[in-house]
Structure 1
Amino acid sequence: MTTVPAVPRADGVRASVPATAVVDGAQVRYWTYYPTPRLDGHSPVIVMVHGFRGTHQGLELIAGNLSEFQVVSPDLPGFGASPPMPGRKHDVAGYATVIAGLIRQLAVGPVVLLGHSFGSIVAARIAATEPSLVSSLILVNSLATPVPARGGPGRLGLRLASAYYRLAAAAPPRAGHVLLASKAFTLSMSAAMAVTRDRELRKDIHRRHLLHFSDFHNRQLLVEAFSEVGEAGVGDYAAGISMRTLLIAGERDRMAPPAGQRWLLPQLADGQLRTISGVGHLVHYEKPAAAAALIREFLASS
């Protein structure tokens, strides 16, 4: 692994130290947020896995509200600063293999593993298949199931998005990339996910999406990853998840509705569900402090 010193932030966001790990030939760029001094010195390390088309920046506000914990937040391969995985499909299995390898390299013992949206499926697979790496599991806006009748992504929205991605995949390379990275598409997705009535917060969410939503390396990996959104869910791995699990749902989440979380909860060996009111699929942007408070309470009761 290679690291560089922490870079001070002028915007008040918690400073972090970037580093690179090589896992099975894949370069994974990740950021470590070190804790403020604690008396006990036994705080668990939290590893955060971002959602589809996101980067580690998407979870930095939650990390900033958990300043007493060491947080490690990677860019999934093919997004942000992490290049695509050579010779491996960019799907849940591929991502889980690489993130599990990163956790081993960190050598910090079992970690608290947090996944948001698409990252919740990746985190669930790791928890189910390699439980020795995970002490507790936290799933934020989790994609419980791909089946709309059970609270998965809305049928119409999923069909429209699937058609758009198929069109982009079939188009010539340059045109396909333009379709997937267009400002109009980005803002339409941002507007669909943001439910806050705070104008300044909505502007900030749109700004963040314009900066990072199209920070992918090529359309092939993007289409590969998107196919998992409609075909996989946390429920696929629920039977194998043995550790304590916290589900954080958004009351107004249309992409991962609370009904899906309620369906998932009884399938977990030791799960609990907390719902944040007045928020949708962007808990990490709209109410990061509330999410951090629930995480802190959950870990304190471990």
Structure 2
Amino acid sequence: MRAPVISPYQSLTASTPVVHRSVVVDGRTTHYWEYGPADAQETVLAVHGFRGDHHGLETIAAHLVGKRVLVPDLPGFGISDPLPVSDIDGYVGWLTGFHRALGLTRDTVVLGHSFGSIVTAAAVAAGLGTRLLVLVNPIAAPALQGPRAVATGIAIGYYRAGALLPRPLGLGLLRNRAIVRAMSVAMLKSHDRDLRRWVHEQHDRYFSAFADRTSVLEAFRTSVTHDVSEYADRIDVPVLLVAAEHDDITAVPEQQALAARLRDAELVVVPGVGHLVHYETPGAASEAVLRRMADRPRRAGHPRRTGSGRVDGATS
């Protein structure tokens, strides 16, 4: 019998209060999970990445001790209803409606991981109010240009085949355990055996929880035809970028270029990790978020590079 895979963060997540709730947004049900104390003075709204669900940000939520963290399943993923069309306008409308339905205010911090960074950045650029936008492993540059273009093209073919093949074959391709494992292996950087087993188990359990093949294809197309830099000039709130030293999807120089375009940005680069900061180093990411949340508002200015290897927004 296979031994259970224990989360390296088990003690922290087990001690974090969590409640499963749902809300109707534009006639469709969004399921979300509320972590932390319900009466917390500060709230974080966190949006997960492509093909995942709320479980992907559970470790971040647990590390944000003392904060109320709301993590919805993106439409069409986990157990949330899909959008009519999973394009960027649809996701922006959904996130804005979800924010409004829960009665959240500008005091709520908005956080997005990976594809969630595109959705949250687009929503904030379109007017979603927040006092701080946090982007973890942000997609800072176009995926259809530069050295990633070939790999992106292959991936588009994979998702298109998954949508067009007869249903059993298409679902079998999209949910193929060997392909899911290959994706997981490619993104993991840690050499810790127990951590690697747990991350693979998370991807095995949650990476194939989607409503239908069309939603997955549309969401993937959205994820590779948009990026945060597209919205940088229209984001006028403070932004914390939590990037990774070895992120194969967006390299550090591209994160630095994005930070330089934002009005008020701080870039924190987590060493020794790739695109799975939320799994491999959630403590480091959450520490940066908690510190930035505790900062007093600073005067807007262009980011500046410091000797610490991160980019900080200019101070007064």
Q: Structures share a fold, TM > 0.5?
A: yes
Match of 2:18 in 1: 16
Match of 1:139 in 2: 135
Q: 1:231 to 1:64 in 2, by over 3 A?
A: same
Q: How does 1:212-251 map to 2 (within 5 A)?
A: 212-251=206-245
Task: Compute the displacement of 1:11 (Å).
Answer: 6.1
Q: How does 1:67-78 map to 2 (within 5 A)?
A: 67-78=65-76
Conserved 8 A contact 1:146-1:229: no
Task: Compute the displacement of 1:92 (Å).
Answer: 2.1
Return the alpha-carbon distance in structure 2 between the equivalents of residues 237 and 75 of structure 1.
23
Match of 1:33 in 2: 35
Return the alpha-carbon distance in structure 1 between the equivalents of residues 225 and 144 of structure 2.
11
Of 97, 112, 115, which aligns to 1:115?
112
Match of 1:252 in 2: 246
Task: Compute the displacement of 1:266 (Å).
Answer: 1.4
Return the alpha-carbon distance in structure 1 between the equivalents of residues 38 and 64 of structure 2.
10
Q: Equivalent residue of 1:157, what SS?
A: helix
Match of 1:100 in 2: 96
Return the alpha-carbon distance in structure 2 between the equivalents of residues 147 and 32 of structure 1.
32
Return the alpha-carbon distance in structure 2 between the equivalents of residues 92 and 142 of structure 1.
16
Match of 2:87 in 1: 91
Task: Show structure 1 runs of 5+ residues with no match.
Answer: 1-8
Task: Compute the displacement of 1:275 (Å).
Answer: 0.1
**What is the TM-score normalised by the length of structure 1?**
0.90
Match of 2:168 in 1: 174
Return the alpha-carbon distance in structure 2 between the equivalents of residues 15 and 68 of structure 1.
10
Q: 1:147 to 1:185 in 2, by over 3 A?
A: closer
Moved over 4 A (4+): 9-12, 147-150
| Aligned amino acid, residue 127 of structure 2 | E
Q: How does 1:285-300 map to 2 (within 5 A)?
A: 285-300=279-294
Task: Compute the displacement of 1:148 (Å).
Answer: 6.2
Q: Identity percentage over the alignment?
A: 39
| Aligned amino acid, residue 21 of structure 1 | V
Conserved 8 A contact 1:22-1:28: yes
Moved more, 48-57 or 138-147: 138-147
The number of equivalent residue pairs is 285
Q: Equivalent residue of 1:154, what SS?
A: helix
1:46 lines up with 2:40 in the alignment: no
Return the alpha-carbon distance in structure 2 between the equivalents of residues 251 and 75 of structure 1.
28
Conserved 8 A contact 2:134-2:241: yes
Conserved 8 A contact 1:36-1:67: no
Task: Show structure 2 runs of 5+ residues with no match.
Answer: 1-8, 297-316
Task: Compute the displacement of 1:149 (Å).
Answer: 5.6
Q: How does 1:47-62 map to 2 (within 5 A)?
A: 47-62=45-60
Conserved 8 A contact 1:36-1:68: no
| Aligned amino acid, residue 120 of structure 1 | S
Return the alpha-carbon distance in structure 2 between the equivalents of residues 76 and 147 of structure 1.
21
Conserved 8 A contact 1:116-1:140: yes
Supply the RMSD in Å over aligned alpha carbons.
1.8
